[in-house]
Chains A and B, each alone.
Chain A
Amino acid sequence: MITFHPDENLLAEYAAGSLDWGLSISVKAHLAMCPQCRRQLSKLNMVGAALLNESAPASSDMSANTPSDFDSLMQKIRSLPKQESKGVTEGAKLEDNSELPEIVRKLLPKERIKWRRVSPSLREAQLTTGQDKYEVCLHKISRGAKVAEHDHGGREVTVILQGSFSDEDGTYNVGDFMMREPGQKHRPTAAQNQDCLCLSVVEAPVRLTGVLGKLINPFLSFQPG
């Protein structure tokens, strides 16, 4: 049961295409798991359509007469190469092949996922997304483990993909979407019965240097619970 959703503002920005690429990835991952937000999105798309329908029609600058405009459009279409069929490219499988949202599967590296051990019970795999404003990664917290209290100094979105965790504010289950503003500290604990896998999208911190930046990682250390 999903209890935590992106708010209307965030979904509206997503629907309008004005939301940043990195954050949109996290919204898309949530949408894949949340019928309620897909319904909401469908309505938000209608708002876009209503605005489109009542836009002041503007004629083409080059030629006011649409027929020649249409001819050039058809010419362009005929000159296109035959459409290539879109094969589904999937990245490496996680060890347990649970259903992950398609967007996450597409982000997985071709060969195998390179997990980096942040602490004995926390692993992190960076995902390449072609932008550097947000860091996108997978986090895996071992069952029952407690992560050090941390604050990212930037917006942080977490979407739960498998398992669950809880912190001071509540318990989060598969599909839940949480956004934290800078300065909101938290200390997640994974549920006892299963490792917890999350998609994390974190506003990239101002890095000191490349190497040091790698050392100063969001999740600094593990504290036994």
Chain B
Amino acid sequence: MNTQMQDASPNSNPSPKHWSDLLEKVGRSQDEDAFAALHTHFSPLIRGFLQAHGGGMALETSEELVQEVMVKVWLKAHSYDSSKAAASTWIFTLTRNARIDFLRKHARQDAQTDPLTTEDIWDEDDGSQPYIYLHQSRTEKQVAHLLKTLPSEQRQCLQKVYMEGKSHTEIASELELPLGTVKSRVRLGLKRLQATIDVN
């Protein structure tokens, strides 16, 4: 972890706003330099995210998906709105959707008769709410910060859900744990990240 560097050298670790600005530039004027900078920063992260812990994807597959995601970034940048989500959150949702698309294409399912696309079900704008615009970037920083303090078993479960795209049931059988244990680890992890909203 190189958290100490965060404040000391802003150049090696630009702020989230830096990436959001670049992304908006791509959206506004199809700025290739801005896109190149985003590519240099995010492609290795997307690749690392998808290949995580050997439980992730095969190399060629993740390679194909990284490119897929970056193409989407280029094509959809015009719809990106930095007041709704950080660049990384937006790119996470594109990555997630690309993986769903890929798995679906390769599953033995009749995609021909399917009236829905992945984007119909997982819209990258879905979570964006005027309600929380004000607190968005603060919350994003907070989640990132708290992630580093997560107990390893909670972290492991969250990584499997998000990075390996596994359902709770799959994780339970892989780790030989009761389903209830996996569920509570995920729940506790999310709570610790303050990523759950108290009802009422």
For B112, the closest partner residue in chain A by CB is: A130
Interface residues on A, range: 35 or more
Given A39-B132, A53-B88: A47 in contact with B110 (beta carbons within 8 A)? no
Contact indicator B92/A73 (Cβ below 8 Å) = no
Does B8 have its Cβ within 8 Å of any Cβ on chain A?
no
Does B173 have its Cβ within 8 Å of any Cβ on chain A?
no
Candidates A49, A83, A91; contact of B92 at CB < 8 Å: A49
For A89, the closest partner residue in chain B by CB is: B115
In angstroms, Cα B44 to Cα A5, docked, is 36
Candidates B48, B104, B162; contact of A21 at CB < 8 Å: B104
Does A208 have its Cβ within 8 Å of any Cβ on chain B?
no
Contact indicator A128/B113 (Cβ below 8 Å) = yes
User: Which residues in chain A, 13-72, are within 8 Å of chain B measured between CB atoms?
Assistant: 13-21, 24-25, 28, 31, 35-36, 38-62, 66, 69-70, 72
Contact indicator A24/B49 (Cβ below 8 Å) = no
In angstroms, Cα B99 to Cα A19, docked, is 12
Helix, strand, loop or mixed for chain A's interface?
helix
Contact indicator A38/B127 (Cβ below 8 Å) = yes
With a CB–CB cut-off of 8 A, which chain A residues contact B170? 18
Contact indicator B92/A48 (Cβ below 8 Å) = yes
Contact indicator B110/A130 (Cβ below 8 Å) = yes
For B66, the closest partner residue in chain A by CB is: A60
Given A41-B127, A43-B196, A49-B89: A13 in contact with B168 (beta carbons within 8 A)? yes
User: Which residues in chain B, 105-144, are within 8 Å of chain A measured between CB atoms?
Assistant: 109-116, 120-122, 126-129, 131-132, 136, 139-140, 143-144
Closest 8 CB pairs of A and B: A130-B114, A42-B127, A57-B44, A55-B48, A17-B96, A49-B89, A41-B127, A48-B92
Given A18-B166, A38-B127, A58-B51, 20 more contacts at CB 8 Å?
Answer: A18-B161, A18-B164, A18-B165, A44-B190, A45-B92, A46-B195, A47-B147, A48-B89, A49-B143, A51-B92, A54-B1, A55-B45, A59-B44, A61-B60, A66-B39, A77-B71, A77-B74, A83-B75, A130-B115, A131-B109
Which B residues are closer than 8 A to A by beta carbons?
A: 1, 32, 36, 39-40, 43-49, 51-52, 59-60, 63, 66-67, 70-71, 74-75, 85-86, 88-89, 91-93, 95-97, 99-100, 104, 109-116, 120-122, 126-129, 131-132, 136, 139-140, 143-144, 147-148, 158-159, 161-168, 170, 183, 186-187, 190, 193-197, 199
